[in-house]
Amino acid sequence: MPEFKEEKSKMSSVEFVQCALRERVAPPSFGSTKARLRHATRTLRWSANRTKDAWYADPRISISADELREVEEKSGLQYGRKELREIDSYIAKATALLESEDPDFHRPFVDAMRAFYRALARPGTEG
């Protein structure tokens, strides 16, 4: 399954849902936009108006955590959690390697590595 790529450096939850709806939940292979919207509405069990607002990324809406989780389940995409888990894993591995030898010598390096990976984990950074 191809990974989700952000097109902008920082993507809001509304933009994420719009992209997920258009590319994964109801891709162009479903036919016209009207047919795709109908399919997305049935798949997510949202109202037609709610689906349409998300489809066109209406700036007046906000996506709830439950709606975001539902879109993630139906689309197979994850909004920011996969990258965070990977970075936490790298931090744990680096800590285990560096702290095992001489904690007094390696401690500043471990702290620097943590800071570096946390900086990469911030929303909007591409890695």
Amino acid, res. 46: W
pLDDT tens for each residue of the chain, 127 residues long: 444 554 444 578 899 899 999 999 999 999 999 999 999 999 999 999 999 999 999 999 999 989 988 998 888 877 666 666 777 787 787 777 666 666 566 677 777 777 887 777 665 545 4
Please give the structure tokens belonging to residue 54: 């998300």
Q: Which sequence spans correspond to the domains of the chain?
A: 13-79, 82-121
The structure's pTM equals 0.56
Amino acid, res. 91: I
How far, in Å, are 9, 35, 66, 73, 91 from residue 18 at the CA level? 16, 16, 16, 15, 32
Helix 103-121 × helix 81-99 angle, to 10°: 170
